[in-house]
Amino acid sequence: MNMRKNIVAGNWKMNTTVPEGVQLAKDVVAKAAEVPAEVGLIVATPFTHLCAVAGVVEGTRVELSAQNCADKEKGAYTGEVSVDMIKSTGAGWTILGHSERRQYYGETDAKLVEKVKLALAAGLKVILCVGENLEEREAGKHFDVVKAQTENVLFNFTAEDMKNIVVAYEPVWAIGTGKTATAEQAEEIHACIRKVLAGKFGAQVADDTTILYGGSCKPSNARELFAQPDIDGGLIGGAALKADDFIGIALSF
């Protein structure tokens, strides 16, 4: 019997002003009661919104996440935001390794190891993103790429650490393109990630780890994706900017 939780997390990316974000969070909280209690709901807002949105979600079932953190603890790193700062807003999570950060901001697996270490040490849970780009998929390298990203980062951690880590498989070619991976394409990668985790941490840890799918997930395709044995929910971009769509996805288990 596995203990893993189904989760739907909204990655707002660089969208909404603070007032708009507060309103969106209020709308999500208002509709959250429709979703079965065992489904985890997370909103990942820009750094600037964390304090205000923390006030909205406090005492509700909706959890709060950042989208990134600094790879240094504190000090002279102008413009960076530390794990302690994130934690002090009331957020309990951070997304790390999103493909947009890997692609546009030079995030490497080595840097991600540092970030995951700092996040866990600060008491933040982590959603670690992995996924191949179109070129890699067309070259048939998708399993190798995802396996390498998973190993390069997570093999530096312990079975105990894995209790606070969720993996998100996000094929880059499916993000924001309207092109969803088919349920079969997603499932075979999720099963592969779980196998990689089992090889390192044992079957129980692998079975207990939540693995989310991300990439053009919406209410109309979530049910088929979430019905797969190794898909435990979604990391939602565009559709998370409308409370109705986000909640619609969370109702798809």
Q: What CA–CA distance (Å, rounded) separates 40 from 43?
A: 10
Catalytic residue among 100, 170, 187, 190: 170
The answer to whether 1 and 203 are in contact (CB under 8 A) is no
Q: What CA–CA distance (Å, rounded) separates 238 from 102?
A: 19
Question: Is 98 marked active-site?
Answer: yes
Is 28 or 205 the residue whose CB approaches ligand PGA more closely?
A: 28
Q: Is 94 among the residues that bind ligand PGA (CB under 6 A)? A: no
The answer to whether 16 and 46 are in contact (CB under 8 A) is yes
Question: Is 170 marked active-site?
Answer: yes
Only one of the segments 47-55, 139-147, 170-178, 190-198 lies at the binding site for ligand PGA (rule: CB under 6 A); that segment is 170-178
The residues with which 127 forms a beta bridge, in sequence order, are 95, 166
Identify which of 152, 90, 155, 98 has the alpha carbon closest to the alpha carbon of residue 126: 98
The answer to whether 232 and 7 are in contact (CB under 8 A) is yes
Q: Is 166 among the residues that bind ligand PGA (CB under 6 A)? A: no
Identify which of 126, 125, 146 has the alpha carbon closest to the alpha carbon of residue 136: 146
The site for ligand PGA, by CB under 6 A, has a size of 13
Q: Is 46 among the residues that bind ligand PGA (CB under 6 A)? A: no
Q: Is 170 among the residues that bind ligand PGA (CB under 6 A)? A: yes
CB of 220 to ligand PGA, least distance (A): 13
Phi, psi at 205, each rounded to 5°: -60, -45
CB of 252 to ligand PGA, least distance (A): 14
Only one of the segments 67-75, 150-158, 196-204, 212-220 lies at the binding site for ligand PGA (rule: CB under 6 A); that segment is 212-220
Q: Is 68 among the residues that bind ligand PGA (CB under 6 A)? A: no
Q: Is 176 among the residues that bind ligand PGA (CB under 6 A)? A: yes
Identify which of 101, 160, 94 has the alpha carbon closest to the alpha carbon of residue 122: 94
The answer to whether 122 and 87 are in contact (CB under 8 A) is yes
End-to-end CA distance of the chain: 18
Is 95 or 153 the residue whose CB approaches ligand PGA more closely?
A: 95
Is 180 or 205 the residue whose CB approaches ligand PGA more closely?
A: 180
Strand locations in 99-220 (E): 125-130, 165-169, 211-214
Q: Which two structure tokens, joined as six digits, stand for 109?
A: 């697996």
Q: Is 107 among the residues that bind ligand PGA (CB under 6 A)? A: no
CB of 99 to ligand PGA, least distance (A): 7
Catalytic residue among 49, 63, 98, 187: 98
Only one of the segments 35-43, 81-89, 120-128, 215-223 lies at the binding site for ligand PGA (rule: CB under 6 A); that segment is 215-223
Residues in the site for ligand PGA, rule: CB under 6 A?
11, 170, 175-176, 214-217, 235-239
